[in-house]
Each structure stands twice: as C-alpha cells, then as structure tokens.
C-alpha cells in the first residue's frame, strides 16, 4: 500500500474516535513515520479533495465527507435504477456500511438474477471509498449450497478446522472468517446453512469470537462484516435467533416491478455489449424492442441478458452465412417466449411510446457508445469468443462442401441447443437445491449420471423432465428396502413384454444403482425403473390412438358372437368381441375366459361390457377390482347398441361417451349399471403421483405441506404403474373428490384438472401457480355460499362446479388466464341468468348492439365460449339468448 493511502486510511479510522479532527503528529506516532512526511501527505489529500484542513493550534485534519459521498454516488451509479427503483435499496446499502462503529450485518433478499452478488460487491467498494475498509481489505464469497449436504465440511469452511477434528483432518486449516478479517464475508444462498451453522454464526455476530471445528478451549477473534443473500423467505428458511441479529434487511425488486424505462436501459446496454463482442452495430426493430420490454422474465436481469445474447447469436449467424454485413434483430428472430411480450402492448402503449417514440424506425446499438457495468452475474454471460466460434464453425462447414442453407440449419440448432442448456442450468440450479434438500446430493448425482447414460444409450432426447421424479423414486426405493418393505410390481410381465429394450436397459442400470448405493434390487423394481425410460412420445401417441374395448356377453350358443360380427362387418373393423355362455356351463368357468379377454382388450381406455341379463351383468364390477381395468356395463343388449358403441369407440371416444351412446340408442331397453356410485364432491384435494410405492409421492406431499398454505385441503399421494393407470385412478378419485391440481412428472392429461410438473413445484413459479389454484377454490366456495343464500335453485354446489369446469376449459382453449374478478363476475352472472331461464322469468338485456362489432375480431373466441356454454345448456335444459352470450364473452375477454 502506498504511504499516502496508509495515511488516508489512518486519518479515517482515527477520526471515528475523535470527530473534532486529527493532527499530523498523532498519525505519525500511530504509523511510526516522520511527522514531515505525514504532513506532506495530508496536504496532498487536501489538494485532491479527500481531506479538509482546519486551521488553528494545532492544525487538524478531517476526512472530506462531501468528497466521499461523491465517490460513493459514482460507485453505485453503475446500477441501472440507482436513483429510481433502486434508490431505497442503495440508501440501505450505504447506511449498512457507514453505521458506526463497524457497519451493520446485512441480509439481501431477491429472486434469481436480480443482482444480489453485485450489490454486495458494490457495498464493499463503497466501504473502501469511505475508508470503512482498507484498500486491500478482503471480500470473501462463499456459497452455502456447495456444501449443504455435508454440514461438518460447511462449518469447517466458514470457521476453520483444527487438526484431528475428524478423520482426515491432518492439519490446521483457517476458515473464511479468518481470511475475511478486516473486510466482508458474503454468504450466498445462506438459507442452505444448517441450524447449527446459523447458531455458530450468530455467536460470532454477538461477540466477535469463534472457534475452529474441533476446538474446545481456544477462541479466536475477527472483525468481519457479514453480508448474506437468499432467494427464500427468511422467516420460513432461517432461524429467528439468526435473523434477529441481522439488523439490515434489503430486498432487491424483481424486473417485473421496475420501471420499463429502466428495463430499456438494461436492454440498450446489453445490445451495446454484444455489439462490442461482434464488432458490428446491431439493428433492432421497434416490435422486437417492445417484446423485450414486455415479456415475462422469471429469471430477471440474468435471463434478459441471456435472451438478448441468443437473439444476437441468431442474427449474427444470419449475417455471416448470408454475407449481407448487417446484424439485424426482428421479432421473428426472438425466442418464442420473448415474442409473446408484444401481446401486452395494449396495456403499456403510452409508456412504450414515451420510451421508444411513435415512429416505426429501427434502433441502432453500437459498442462505441458508453457501456456501463450492468448488474448481472457472470453466470449469465456467454464466452467472450462465442461469435468467433460461430464464424470458425461456418468456415469449417463450408470447407466440407456443405451448402449455406444447410449450414444455417446446423449452426442454428447448435445455438438453440447451447442456450437451452445455458438457461436450463440456471433454472435447474433452483430446482436442484430443493430436490437435493429432500433426497441428498449422492442420489441426485447418481440419478443425473443414469439419465445422461440413458439419453446416450436409448437415444431418447426428452428424458430431462423425468430427472426429479427418477431421483425421488430411487430415494423412495432405497428407504423402502432399508425398512425391509416388499416391492411388488403386478405389471412386471406386461412391462417386460411391452418394452423389451427399456427393460434390458433397466437391468443394466440396476447394477449401477446396486453398486453405488450398496443395495440389492428385486426384479419387481426393474419393472418400475423401466417405466422411466420408455419413449414417452411414442407411448403417448399410442394412447391417443387407443380405443375402448367392446365386449358382448350373452346366455346361449351364438348370440354374442353374432352381434359382434354384425357390428364389425357393417363398420369394417374388428373392435367388437363376443363371448357366449351356453346354459350348461357354470358362470365361474366363463368368468375366467372373460377375464383373460378383458385384459387383452384394454388399451388404457377401459372396456364396455354389453350383457343380456343375470350373472353376466355383474362381471364388470368384479373384474374391475381384480385386474385393475376400468369397465362399464349395459344390460339388455341389442344389436343397434353394439353397432353404436363400436362406432363411437372407433372415433376414439372415452369410456363414458361410448357407454352413454349405447344407452341413448334405446333408453327403454338399456339400463345403466355403474361400478361406483357418484357421490357429491365434498372435499378439495391435491394429488401427487409417482411410480411404485407411495414413498416418492409422499415426499412430494410433505414438501407441498411445508411450503404451500393448504387449509382444509387434503394432499393425496398416488402410486401407479403406467400413465393409463394413473389416469384411471385420478378419474375414479374425481368422482368423490374435487381435485384442485395434479403434481407429478407424468401428465395424466385430463382436460378439467390443472397439472403442475414435478420440477416446477420446487420453483417459485410452480408454487405460485398452485397457491393461485388453492385461492381460486376458496373463491368458488364463497361464491357457492353467496348463491345458496340468494338463488332459488337446487344443487348450487353442482352448478358452481360445472361453471368452474366450463371456465377452466374456456381458459385452456383461449390460452388466457382469468383474474379472480373475472371468475367471480362471470359465475355470478351466469348463475343468475340460469335461475331466470329455468324459472321462465323475463330477461331484460340492456346491451348496445353496436358492441357486437367488437367480437368480429374475436370470432374464434366467441365460438369457443359458445361451445363450452353449450354443455351447461344441455345439462340444465336451457338456451342462452345470443345477446347474453355476447355479454358473457365481453366479461371473459374484458371488452
């Protein structure tokens, strides 16, 4: 350190002890320097504006506060919004550093990508400029997540390790607290710190002393300011005794809560940075800028930067391959999720016009303009030579004689793959933390290794989404085996026959799991492992092509076979099957034959049994329970019934539809025989689902219970052996319960039931989605109570459920989420309308017909709404007037 810097630092420190001023002699004595040299340095500091001189006897010197403040403003000015949306945050950061005597320990809260690490670094720089820290003071960064699965090592990293503290501790090791002495220790992801670690840390905060791991008597001292950061709610993830000792809480707002003008500044600077990398100006269209300003950006500034880099990479590829010399970004080049931003323009048009102007001219961004140090972590930055790599790859492909069009396609795929992986790593980091907390690092690492192996061996590129489900499954299996619980797979033989390639692979990975985890897997478990590696795209297509099985059962020698043959001949199919029971044959003998055939006929959509009379009409109920196949039975079968049921099955209809079509063909002959009475919905539930025993789904249930408010809502874990089995169980449960949502890595694809991917439930976005669904259920309950008190209608609860289902399906088909206000308003309006229509009360419509024109541009939306309202009309035997449909449409479309 230069002598003048040492003098300035000492002046700042001594001034804190005596705020009247410090003499040159006092500083000289303190530093053991010549008084004349110190006096010279102090006068130089005065000339530089870094100190001020107070004449008198003796002459006193003070730090120049105004100069310090000026420097500080420069320090924080690199933050976009430092005098706008971040002004309060900046003031808090300054106060935390300057608060006497040694600053305030600080906790920074904010979502992924908002700039927590950079803000901590700026606080430290501020401290150096004001003299709170020396110019060579340390800034030590430690990510608590790196050692979250090894609490002993984690605490050893922070506090240090005494030789012999544990096996392998062969020498004394200083901890980060000692290394950070005189400066700042930044603890990122502090919520991963164990309770014991938090307790040791708050002892240091209280007393300034600590012990290395393994030390019992000797205590150490350090002067360290702690700045911690977390993405989690401190109240739920940190001990109260710890947070009480962190007096300064700073929340950095997410991008969506900041001004659009600030977002534009970020966009502008990121484009300038990319212009510098590329070495060319970047031309961006107005619409592309509008999309970038308005799209949903859950990973905040980091994601914004990454999406801009992806867009620049695409534009650069176009520039180099077509050799037109310009890097141009128009809407078509943007990532798909960014393009959707333009859909919000209506709500922000005035603000956008103020930022971009009302002309339609393109914007040009150049690296020659000043580039600021924008707050975004290096984790969001592509390599410096990224564009050079693209050029070299194009040159290499051209040398191989590949046409430019094909080169464009190859490089384009490379770029897409890179950025998908790049941003996926950021999002996965959040998900993996939660999974790791539940199952531990060892099993998660093993699951990743196996999934990577599977992608290479099976050539199935879509296996990433099953990672978390697979990891939970392995953990559940290990726990089950250690508790000496049996693992039974009733579908083992079917799985082995249906998926031979995947079954063989499962045997191979079972040996890897056994070796790594020191366990022995039973053969039944091989079947469950297989289900994670099937080609889901192919299987889902098979399920889409699946049909309901048609089985005719009759007493006698040929009636059933004849009816099935007639239906098959007329419809040119082989879907219908018949089994006859001669009068001299016992029902139990035919039962075995029917059982074997039903298992063969079931393609995942169930089997419709059309029987004539007697014991045959009870077969369906018995078989459903025995072989786990959904069945419905119609008695007093006739040939027209068989033909109609077969025709509907050929069209891909579900079991309920095929069943009802058979009844409707002759309602006086057919009588519905259902296996389970449909009870009124009396309980709200959330379903969690995983393969095998309920261990994995129970863990998901436990996680949801801890992280989501769910008063008066049950969470039901379901285990299943196939997607169709999962769907059957949910459909059966939905007859007795109101299913708010299904959480699983497998989508049962039931239109009226919301689905949340397993990996999403470990993120803020997924938890928010589930919380919103729960909140909506509360609203539906309140609506039901209101309507019951005011409407003269029976079964209000059923009506609210029907309207909820209709709104859900309309929302899904329109691709539009409805706010709670719209849901409440539309249900109340439609329910009151139904009451008037059922009671034949007059309907006064005060509706301006000229408003009909507003739907001409929404004709498709109007038809979708009409279609779903038709289900209400049919069930309640009413007909909505055209003008009322227009009013409902205006409510839903907010027009």
Residue-wise pLDDT for 766-799, tens only, equals 888 888 888 888 877 778 877 877 777 777 878 8
| pLDDT-derived band at 851, boundaries 50, 70, 90 | very low
Across the beta sheet with 738-744, the strand order is 713-720, 684-691, 738-744, 755-757
Instruction: Judge whether 718 and 726 are in contact, CB under 8 Å.
Output: yes
Average pLDDT over residues 316-334: 80
Average pLDDT over residues 683-705: 74
Cα dihedral: 200, 206, 208, 210 (round 10): -20
Structure confidence at residue 225 (pLDDT)? 94
Residue with the bigger pLDDT between 377 and 735: it is 735
**φ and ψ at residue 12, rounded to 5 degrees:** -60, -45
Average pLDDT over residues 800-827: 83
The strand ranges marked E within 582-625 are 607-611
Residue with the bigger pLDDT between 693 and 43: it is 43
Q: How far apart are CA 98 and CA 65, in angstroms?
A: 12
| pLDDT-derived band at 121, boundaries 50, 70, 90 | very high
| pLDDT-derived band at 676, boundaries 50, 70, 90 | very low
Q: How far apart are CA 840 and CA 107, in angstroms?
A: 64
The alpha helices in 745-795, defined as continuous H runs, are: 764-790
Q: Is the pLDDT of residue 227 over 90?
A: yes
Which tokens sit at 858?
Answer: 């929404």
Average pLDDT over residues 584-609: 84
Residue with the bigger pLDDT between 678 and 635: it is 635
Flag whether the pTM goes above 0.85.
no
Mean pLDDT score across all residues of the chain: 79
Q: How far apart are CA 706 and CA 687, in angstroms?
A: 15
Q: How far apart are CA 388 and CA 781, in angstroms?
A: 60
Q: How far apart are CA 586 and CA 347, in angstroms?
A: 73
Q: How far apart are CA 670 and CA 667, in angstroms?
A: 5
Structure confidence at residue 258 (pLDDT)? 92
Which tokens sit at 274?
Answer: 């990319």
Q: Among 172-176, 509-513, 621-625, 712-716, whose mean pLDDT is lowest?
A: 621-625
Q: Is the pLDDT of residue 374 over 60?
A: no
Structure confidence at residue 253 (pLDDT)? 94
pLDDT tens column, 24-45: 999 988 888 888 778 878 887 8
Residue in the structure block whose two tokens are 């309907």: 843
Residue 283 gets which letter from DSSP? E
| pLDDT-derived band at 857, boundaries 50, 70, 90 | very low
Average pLDDT over residues 159-182: 85
Q: Is the pLDDT of residue 108 over 90?
A: yes
Q: Is the pLDDT of residue 600 over 90?
A: no
Q: Is the pLDDT of residue 696 over 70?
A: no
Q: Is the pLDDT of residue 516 over 60?
A: yes
Q: Among 14-23, 296-305, 738-747, 860-869, whose mean pLDDT is lowest?
A: 14-23
| pLDDT-derived band at 854, boundaries 50, 70, 90 | very low
| pLDDT-derived band at 423, boundaries 50, 70, 90 | very low
Average pLDDT over residues 538-564: 75
For each of the domains in the chain, give its residue range(s) and CATH number, in order of start. Answer: 3-63 (1.10.10.10), 77-253 (3.40.50.300), 256-424 (no CATH), 440-540 (1.10.1790.10), 546-673 (3.40.50.510), 793-895 (1.10.1790)
Q: Among 504-518, 815-829, 855-869, whose mean pLDDT is lowest?
A: 855-869
Instruction: Judge whether 721 and 490 are in contact, CB under 8 Å.
Output: yes
Q: Is the pLDDT of residue 96 over 90?
A: yes
| pLDDT-derived band at 139, boundaries 50, 70, 90 | very high
Q: Is the pLDDT of residue 138 over 80?
A: yes
| pLDDT-derived band at 104, boundaries 50, 70, 90 | very high
| pLDDT-derived band at 490, boundaries 50, 70, 90 | low
| pLDDT-derived band at 105, boundaries 50, 70, 90 | very high
Q: How far apart are CA 566 and CA 581, in angstroms?
A: 19
Residue 22 gets which letter from DSSP? B
Average pLDDT over residues 813-817: 81
The strand ranges marked E within 173-321 are 173-174, 184-188, 209-210, 220-221, 225-230, 248-251, 282-284
Count other Cβ atoms within 10 Å, centred on residue 537: 11
| pLDDT-derived band at 368, boundaries 50, 70, 90 | low
């Amino acid at each position: 350190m230069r002598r003048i810097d040492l003098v300035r630092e000492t002046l700042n420190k001594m001034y804190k002890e005596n705020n009247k001023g410090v003499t040159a002699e006092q500083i000289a004595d303190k530093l053991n320097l010549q008084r004349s040299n110190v006096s010279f340095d102090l006068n130089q500091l005065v000339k530089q504006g870094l100190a001020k001189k107070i004449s008198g006897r003796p002459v006193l010197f003070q730090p120049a506060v105004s100069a310090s403040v000026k420097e500080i403003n420069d320090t924080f000015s690199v933050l976009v919004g430092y005098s706008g949306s971040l002004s309060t945050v900046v003031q808090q950061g300054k106060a935390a550093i300057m608060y006497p005597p040694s600053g305030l320990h600080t906790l920074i809260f904010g979502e992924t990508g908002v700039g927590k690490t950079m803000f901590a670094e700026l606080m430290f720089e501020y401290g150096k400029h004001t003299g709170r820290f020396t110019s060579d003071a340390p800034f030590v960064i430690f990510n608590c997540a790196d050692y979250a699965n090894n609490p002993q090592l984690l605490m050893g990293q922070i506090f240090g390790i005494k030789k012999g503290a544990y096996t392998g501790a062969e020498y004394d090791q200083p901890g980060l607290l000692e290394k950070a002495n005189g400066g700042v220790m930044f603890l990122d992801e502090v919520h991963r710190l164990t309770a014991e670690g938090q307790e040791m840390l708050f002892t240091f905060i209280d007393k300034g002393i600590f012990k290395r791991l393994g030390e019992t008597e000797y205590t150490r001292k350090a002067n360290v300011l702690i700045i911690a950061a977390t993405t989690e709610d401190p109240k739920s993830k940190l001990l109260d005794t710890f947070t009480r000792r962190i007096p300064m809480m700073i929340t950095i707002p997410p991008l969506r809560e900041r001004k659009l003008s600030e977002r534009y500044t970020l966009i502008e600077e990121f484009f300038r940075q990319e212009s510098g990398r590329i070495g060319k100006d970047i031309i961006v269209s107005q619409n592309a800028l509008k999309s970038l300003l308005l799209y949903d950006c859950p990973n905040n500034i980091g994601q914004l930067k990454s999406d801009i880099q992806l867009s620049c990479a695409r534009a650069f590829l176009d520039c180099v391959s077509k050799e037109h010399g310009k890097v141009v970004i128009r809407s078509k080049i943007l990532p798909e999720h960014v393009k959707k931003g333009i859909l919000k323009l209506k709500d922000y048009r005035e603000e956008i016009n103020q930022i971009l102007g009302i002309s339609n001219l393109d914007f040009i961004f150049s690296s020659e303009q000043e580039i600021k140090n924008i707050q975004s972590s290096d984790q969001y930055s592509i390599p410096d030579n990224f564009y050079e790599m693209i050029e070299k790859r194009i040159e290499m492909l051209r040398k191989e004689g590949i046409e430019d069009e094909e080169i464009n396609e190859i490089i384009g795929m490379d770029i897409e793959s890179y950025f998908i992986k790049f941003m996926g790593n950021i999002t996965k980091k959040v998900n993996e933390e939660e999974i790791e907390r539940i199952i531990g690092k060892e099993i998660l690492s093993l699951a990743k290794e196996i999934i990577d192996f599977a992608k290479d061996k099976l050539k199935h590129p879509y296996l990433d989404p099953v990672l978390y489900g697979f990891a939970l499954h392995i953990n559940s299996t290990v726990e089950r085996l250690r508790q000496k619980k049996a693992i039974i797979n009733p579908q083992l033989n079917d799985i082995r026959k249906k998926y031979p390639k995947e079954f063989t692979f499962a045997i191979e990975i079972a040996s890897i799991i056994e070796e790594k985890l020191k366990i022995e897997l039973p053969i039944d478990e091989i079947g469950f492992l297989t289900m994670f590696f099937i080609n889901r795209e192919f299987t889902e297509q098979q399920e889409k092509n699946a049909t309901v099985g048609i089985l005719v059962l009759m007493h006698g020698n040929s009636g059933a076979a004849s009816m099935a043959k007639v239906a098959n001949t007329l419809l040119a199919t082989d879907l219908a099957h018949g089994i006859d029971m001669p009068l001299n044959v016992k029902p139990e003998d035919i039962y075995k034959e029917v059982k074997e055939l039903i298992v063969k006929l079931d393609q995942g959509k169930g089997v419709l049994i059309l029987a004539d009379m007697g014991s045959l009409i009870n077969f369906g109920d018995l078989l459903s329970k025995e072989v786990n196949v959904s069945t419905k039975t119609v008695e007093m079968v006739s040939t027209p019934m068989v033909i109609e049921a077969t025709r509907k099955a050929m069209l891909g209809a579900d079991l309920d539809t095929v069943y009802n079509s058979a009844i409707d063909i002759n309602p006086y002959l057919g009588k519905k025989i259902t296996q389970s009475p449909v009870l009124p919905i009396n309980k709200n539930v959330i379903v969690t689902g995983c393969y095998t025993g309920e261990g994995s789904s129970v863990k998901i249930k436990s996680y949801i219970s801890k992280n989501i408010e769910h008063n008066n809502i049950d969470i039901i874990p379901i285990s299943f052996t196939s997607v169709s089995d999962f769907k059957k169980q949910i459909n059966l449960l939905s007859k007795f319960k109101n299913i708010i949502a299904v959480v699983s890595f497998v989508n049962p694809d039931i239109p009226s039931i919301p689905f949340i991917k397993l990996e999403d439930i470990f993120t803020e976005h997924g938890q928010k989605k589930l919380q919103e669904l729960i909140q909506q259920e509360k609203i539906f309950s309140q609506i039901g109570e209101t309507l019951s008190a005011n409407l003269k209608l029976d079964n209000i609860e059923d009506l609210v459920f029907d309207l909820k289902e209709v709104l859900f399906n309309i929302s899904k088909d329109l691709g539009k989420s409805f706010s709670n206000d719209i849901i409440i308003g539309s249900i109340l309006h439609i329910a009151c309308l139904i009451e008037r229509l059922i009671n034949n009360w007059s309907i006064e419509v005060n509706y301006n017909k000229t408003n009909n024109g507003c739907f001409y541009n929404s004709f498709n939306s109007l038809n979708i709404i009409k279609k779903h309202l038709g289900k209400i009309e049919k069930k309640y035997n009413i007909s909505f007037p055209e003008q009322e449909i227009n009013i409902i449409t205006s409510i839903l479309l907010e027009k």
